[in-house]
């Protein structure tokens, strides 16, 4: 093992011993990163779904605020929104992180859901209404399951971007994985090694998420094919 670490070490660029030894400390921030991911992705989907319904509303009074919301939060960097919520609204760091990591992805999710809904044959909506469903009942029981299946690849991209985006909350002192990496790097005065390690960790976690997305897609495709 020692010989392998010596072989992998590149003086001045990468210290293999430090890389291996730093992993437990860096991973101590992973639970917070995953907590933010799960909470914010769930809230962003709920908010995005509501914004999508407003965006598709025939009423201009509801449609235009949704259009503005989508346009604004798709056009403003996440870091700017994070600073606005933390410094501008004087929220505590964790609350600011949750709010920011929810409202920005929700704008993208709203558009992904809208595109998915528009891809469904309108005849299904008319048939559901003819069978006695309310409009919301048609949306929830008939259109949403199909739209979700169509939107999965796009939602998967949002999930990956959101996980990587959790690293930004280190800028407002939330102790997630990247913050732990910064602490380890500063203590050892070797930023290159630690940043290579954190990059590999993010990549591995995203690879696992992508694998889970593929499994979900195949499962839903088989289920809808049987129906």
Q: Where are the domains of the chain?
A: 1-29+175-227, 31-155
37-90 pLDDT, tens digit each:
999 999 999 999 999 999 988 888 999 999 999 999 999 999 999 999 999 998
Q: What is the pLDDT of residue 39?
A: 98
163-198 pLDDT, tens digit each:
999 999 999 999 999 999 999 999 999 999 999 999
Q: What is the pLDDT of residue 203?
A: 97
- Tell me the two tokens of residue 93: 């760091």
What is the C-alpha separation between 115 and 139, in angstroms, rounded?
14
Q: What is the pLDDT of residue 9?
A: 77
In the predicted structure, residue 105 carries a pLDDT above the cut 70: yes
CATH class for the domain made up of 31-155: mainly alpha
What is the C-alpha separation between 226 and 215, in angstroms, rounded?
17
Pure H helices in the chain:
2-8, 16-27, 30-56, 60-75, 78-83, 93-118, 122-130, 135-138, 144-165, 177-188, 191-226
How would residue 149 be classed by pLDDT, with cut points 50, 70 and 90? confident
**48, 142, 164 from 26: Cα distances, Å:** 32, 44, 15
């Amino acid at each position: 093992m020692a010989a392998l670490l010596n072989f992998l070490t590149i003086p001045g660029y990468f210290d293999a011993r430090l890389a291996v030894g730093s992993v437990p400390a860096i991973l101590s921030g992973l639970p917070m990163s995953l907590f933010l991911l799960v909470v914010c992705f769930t809230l962003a989907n709920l908010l995005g779904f509501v914004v999508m319904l407003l965006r598709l509303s025939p009423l201009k009074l509801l449609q235009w605020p949704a259009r503005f919301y989508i346009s604004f939060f798709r056009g403003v960097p996440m870091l700017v929104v994070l600073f606005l919520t933390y410094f501008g609204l004087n929220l505590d760091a964790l609350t600011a992180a949750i709010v920011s990591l929810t409202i920005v992805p929700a704008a993208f999710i709203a558009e992904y859901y809208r595109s998915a809904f528009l891809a469904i044959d309108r005849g299904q909506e008319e048939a559901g209404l003819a069978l006695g469903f309310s409009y919301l009942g048609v949306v929830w029981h008939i259109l949403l399951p199909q739209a979700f299946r169509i939107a999965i690849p796009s939602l998967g991209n949002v999930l990956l971007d959101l996980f990587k985006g959790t690293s930004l909350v280190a800028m407002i002192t939330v102790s997630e994985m990247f913050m732990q990496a910064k602490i380890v790097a500063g203590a050892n005065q070797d930023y290159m090694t630690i940043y290579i390690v954190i990059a590999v960790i993010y990549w591995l976690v995203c690879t696992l998420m992508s694998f889970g997305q593929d499994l979900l897609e195949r499962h839903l495709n088989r289920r809808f094919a049987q129906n």
